[in-house]
Amino acid sequence: MCIPPDLEAAALASEQTESGRSGSEVGVDSGLRRRLQLVRGLQWVRAAEGDPLATLLRGYPGGALPMSAGPISRSATGTVLVDGAQAAELLTAGNGFADWRPTGTRVMAVAAEDIEPADPADVAALAAASPPPVTEVPDDLTDLVPTAELLCAKAFADLLGAEPDSLLAATPVLDNLLCPQETAVTERMLAAVDDLRAALCARTPAFFLAVVAPRLAADLVTRTAATLLADGQWPDVEGAVERTRAVYSPVRLHLTTARTDLTIAGEVVPGDSQVAVLTSPAALPQLLDLPLVYATADAVLTAIARRHPRLVSSGAALDRPLAPATRGLAHLPVASLRTELVGS
């Protein structure tokens, strides 16, 4: 089945008008719920038709990166897809974030303008701070993902002056810009964003870090731990975060807008075009290259290793669904062995 783009636009615009919501208020009403379901359906249809960007936007775990005949391609979703190595000018120019708007109309629950700081330069100053000490590593450890998420949320909450629960509930924000989240997740996210906006003020560096940094740090912790456990190197965590950063980008898919005409790989991308960049560790969005995230991940990983030096894997790691941007782990089953059991 093929849905013409003009029908997509009409359907989404109709849902936007019916809902009458900006998307940042607490709760998920019927109009917003239908709009998000429609977006998910449109992405599914485009992916079924073979569109590589739509395949990524759906955020299915383990989804392969799209193969392209060249470094730049144009998606039927209306977005230009670019290899990060070819988008250096776009990424370093600080063009910021975009949310997926196939019609030019806001369709996601939380949009880019809700989270982007008014002065991106101020983020760099705040992101150069040292993370607070990491404490309260739990004695019982069966899944490293929720533990890493909680510890990272507490660290940033202490630093920014916010509630850890709000930071935890806001963690789907980056993925929400590209892919509709489940209704319950969306509802918690909207409430958390409103709480953080009230506590930290909208479009400030502190608010931006609160909604993006905890998930990036936790993903770095769990990816690093998964590698160490698989290689039998736990608890040798010194320098491990840096090694993971050389392999995994904090985000794998970044949506932005070309503010002026750009020439990428010999092709002209007009200004105001929506561009999806397949990032790499060497080609990151300027706003997401955050030293504080790396330092926090290192501190959390070190604290876990000290408390649980005999950690072993107890099951297969599972990727997070509906996460086209962060593509982190949903579960990392582990067990902490007692000393007397080691070698038995």
Residues 162 and 215 sit within 8 Å (Cβ to Cβ): no
Residue 2: its pLDDT value, please? 56
> Shortest CA distance to 9 belongs to which of 143, 148, 102, 136?
102
H or E segment and range at residue 74: strand 72-74
Residue 99, Cα to own-chain centre: how many angstroms? 12
Residue 114 backbone dihedrals phi, psi, to 5 degrees: -75, -25
Residue 93: its pLDDT value, please? 62
The three-class DSSP label of residue 331 is strand
Rounded to an integer, what distance in angstroms lies between the CA atom of residue 324 and that of residue 273? 20
Residue 11: its pLDDT value, please? 54
Grouped pLDDT means (10 residues each) for the chain, 344 residues: 53 50 59 90 90 90 60 85 83 79 84 92 91 92 98 97 97 97 95 97 96 98 98 97 95 90 85 89 89 97 97 96 95 86 40
Evaluated on CA atoms 195, 199, 200, 206, the torsion sign reads: negative
What are the helix (H) ranges across the chain? 5-19, 30-48, 52-57, 88-92, 112-115, 120-126, 144-160, 164-169, 173-176, 183-200, 205-231, 240-245, 291-307
Residue 190: its pLDDT value, please? 96
Burial 239-250 (b: 16+ CB within 10 A, else e): ebbeebbeebbb
Q: Residue 14: exposed, middle, or buried by beta-carbon count in 10 A (0-12, 13-18, 19+)?
A: middle
Residues 122 and 205 sit within 8 Å (Cβ to Cβ): yes
Identify the bridge partners of residue 336 per DSSP, sorted by sequence position. Answer: 311
Residue 274 has which token pair? 């929506």
Residues 6 or more apart whose CB falls under 8 angstroms from that of 205 comprise 117, 119, 122, 123, 125, 126, 127
Residue 3: its pLDDT value, please? 54
Residue 64, Cα to own-chain centre: how many angstroms? 17
Residue 91: its pLDDT value, please? 82
Rounded to an integer, what distance in angstroms lies between the CA atom of residue 209 and that of residue 287? 10
What is the reported pTM? Answer: 0.90
Rounded to an integer, what distance in angstroms lies between the CA atom of residue 158 and that of residue 311? 27
> Shortest CA distance to 324 belongs to which of 41, 58, 82, 39?
58
Residue 7: its pLDDT value, please? 47
The three-class DSSP label of residue 267 is strand
